[in-house]
Amino acid sequence: MARGLLIIKTLTPTHPGAGTSLGAIDLMLQREVTTNFPFIQGSSLKGAIRGHLENQPVKDKNGLVGELLNEIESYANSKRIESLKNEIKKYQGDSSALPVFKAREYTRLLIANEDMEDKRKEIEKKYSLLYRILDIVFGPYNPGGNPERSSLLISDASLLFYPVRTLKGLYALVTCPEILRRLNMPHIDLKIPDSLLNLNDKGTVKTLNSTQSKYVINGKVYFEDLNFSIDTVGDGDFNWVKEKLGLDESIKDRLFVVHNDVFQYFVEFATQVMSRNKIDYATGTVDKKIGGIWTEEHLPPETYLFSYLEDNGKVVGKIKVKENNLGKEKDASSFEWVADKLNNNVIHLGGDETVGKGFAELRFKKLQEAKNG
């Protein structure tokens, strides 16, 4: 059983939305019921990761893509579907550009056009090899047609570090004992030092001695509209940022631990709120049909979140690894396969993709493997 952490860093404002609201902000962030901390639902995260991989080119080693394109071309000719014929020509010119979701779509068209049950099964068995791994890892694309469940568990993504404005030092990253406690839960067990888990004074923040000089003004640091005294901790107390999470060493130079209540205040009242409207092209003014201007709440860039991932240990594919400076292939479980595909890659999360929102960098950190049972 392979397991690990997925660390998400927002690169642009990100809106994992909760739908409409009756409050001052029309479209709110998803938030935990008990703490009111923003988070990303596991189903949303899983869907975004799957969607990204579905749009990647099919890796064809046995000439199946060419066979599939020839068959779907015959289907398009028989049905006189000009749009499909033109689309196929594009992929026939470069079969390596065929995305996974198109391979699935074409296979389903062939199956739907076949009257004989045996022939339908033969087509499915043959061409499902082009997208079968995704169905194993994330669950069947059509739950009604496949009894298998997902082999990869993806938890909700919780906040890890949150960026706040500062009077000096450009911006800081804050976290709190409640967040760090979650990293010490048995299934993750990063062994965060106790010195960071105990903070009872709301007017004090904890950081490294080397960090405070970049932010301090007359013995205080100023975050948003609040000021704090500083309690410095040992140089090794933040080593887990790189050693356990695999993040850049430079994060330690911006990192502060604040009281739980202070952290809650920041993530409630220091989010990025944007006003948007829709223009009526006929008049050149606000389209009144949708009610004029609306507001959206976003996680700001430089927000870090973490999600726990775990698989059932079954081999789903191959990944390339280096051993003695030589490249070789090894069997990979679901977590290892997804991490190999997406580590240090950028995907889209949440809404407003076409206006540049929701781009995030993913990093995977494998934890010690757990045994089944």
Sign, Cα dihedral of 124, 129, 130, 136: positive
* Number of separate helices (H) and strands (E) present in the chain: 11, 20
Q: What is the pLDDT of residue 141?
A: 74
Across 285-301, average pLDDT: 81
Residue at token pair 């929102």: 357
Confidence class for position 35, pLDDT limits 50, 70, 90: very high
Q: What is the pLDDT of residue 365?
A: 95
- Return the beta strands (E) in the chain as ranges: 3-10, 17-20, 27-29, 39-40, 152-154, 157-165, 171-175, 204-208, 221-223, 226-233, 255-257, 272-276, 279-280, 285-286, 294-298, 304-311, 315-323, 326-333, 346-348, 359-366
Q: What is the pLDDT of residue 278?
A: 78
Residues contacting 275, CB < 8 A, separation 6+? 293, 294, 295
Among 51, 91, 105, 16, residue whose Cα is nearest residue 297 = 16
CA distance 3 to 187: 9
Q: What is the pLDDT of residue 214?
A: 93
Residues contacting 56, CB < 8 A, separation 6+? 99, 100, 341
The highest-confidence range among 50-54, 63-67, 272-276, 279-283, by mean pLDDT, is: 50-54
The 3-state DSSP class for residue 162 equals strand
Q: Which residues pair with 174 in a beta bridge?
A: 162, 256
Q: What is the pLDDT of residue 166?
A: 97
Average pLDDT for the chain: 90
Angle 43-255-367 from CA coordinates, rounded to 5°? 45
Backbone phi and psi for residue 310, each to the nearest 5 degrees, phi listed first = -155, 140
The predicted-structure confidence for 163-201, as pLDDT tens digits, reads as follows 999 999 999 999 999 999 999 999 999 999 999 999 999
The 3-state DSSP class for residue 45 equals helix
- Answer with the residue of higher pLDDT: 68 or 277: 68
Q: What is the pLDDT of residue 323?
A: 64
Q: What is the pLDDT of residue 373?
A: 45
111-118 LR contacts (CB < 8 Å, sep 24+): 113/75, 113/79
Confidence class for position 338, pLDDT limits 50, 70, 90: very high
Which tokens is 210 given?
A: 């080397």
Across 235-263, average pLDDT: 95
pLDDT at 326 over 70: no
**What pTM does this model have?**
0.90
Q: What is the pLDDT of residue 284?
A: 76
The predicted-structure confidence for 102-131, as pLDDT tens digits, reads as follows 999 999 999 988 888 898 889 989 988 889
Residue at token pair 């398009």: 76
pLDDT at 311 over 50: yes
Across 130-146, average pLDDT: 80
Q: What is the pLDDT of residue 371?
A: 53
Residues contacting 236, CB < 8 A, separation 6+? 193
Domain spans of the chain, in order of start: 64-130, 161-261
- Answer with the residue of higher pLDDT: 85 or 347: 347
Q: What is the pLDDT of residue 7?
A: 98
